[in-house]
Amino acid sequence: MAKFSPMMIAPPVIFAAFVGLAAVGMFRDDPEGLPSTLVGRDAPAMPEAELPGYPLASDAMLRSGEVTLVNFWASWCPPCRAEHPKLLEMQADGMSIIGVNFKDTQGNATAYLEDEESPFSGVGFDPQGRVAINWGVTAPPETFIVDGDGTVLFRFAGPLVGSDYEQRFLPALEDALSR
């Protein structure tokens, strides 16, 4: 007769626990969404550092009476490069966009905007990522829709391209612009 050890049951129990956690994660309401504690609150401050050669992003730009986008980006970020044509298109259509360059160098950021053209009405420089922390940014690119009074209306994590952009970001932007 074989001996039974309590340790024989531990691996299947641990495996079952992992399966249970995965199932809960898969069936939650919005597995792609990253909640933002800023929605409905005043936008945090803009960086005080500027990117030479570009207008400095200011808090007054967020309270101009017009809906504004705040886009966190970096020159080293491939998804930021992927969304750049969309930002240029939106800017050409009259959208006010503030860019916050973070965890980058002045030289790389400036060269990127010179090579690709700047879609930003103001640019803040956040080399240490401290302002990004206040905004709750987890990774670039992230874009916030800010009402004309400086209230954050929506947060979009990821590049402004593809079906996620069309299905989540555009409706939120259209809603903000129709207010």
| Domains of the chain by start residue, with CATH | 44-177 (3.40.30.10)
CA distance 87 to 80: 10
User: How does pLDDT run across 1-48, given as a tens digit for each residue?
Assistant: 667 677 777 777 677 666 666 666 555 555 445 556 789 899 999 999
At 113 the pLDDT is: 97
Contacts for 138-143: CB closer than 8 Å, 24+ residues apart: 138/34, 140/72, 140/73, 140/74, 140/77, 140/79, 140/80, 140/102, 140/103, 141/71, 141/72, 141/73, 141/77, 141/79, 141/80, 141/83, 142/71, 142/72, 143/69, 143/70, 143/71, 143/72, 143/169
Q: What residues contact 150, with CB distance under 8 A and at least 6 apart?
A: 42, 43, 59, 62, 63
* pLDDT value of residue 12: 72
Q: What is the pLDDT of residue 25?
A: 59
pLDDT score recorded for residue 65: 94
Reported as a pLDDT band with limits 50, 70 and 90, residue 57 is very high
Contact predicate 81/161, CB 8 Å = no
Residue range 52-56: mean pLDDT, rounded: 94
pLDDT bucket at 157, cuts 50 / 70 / 90: very high
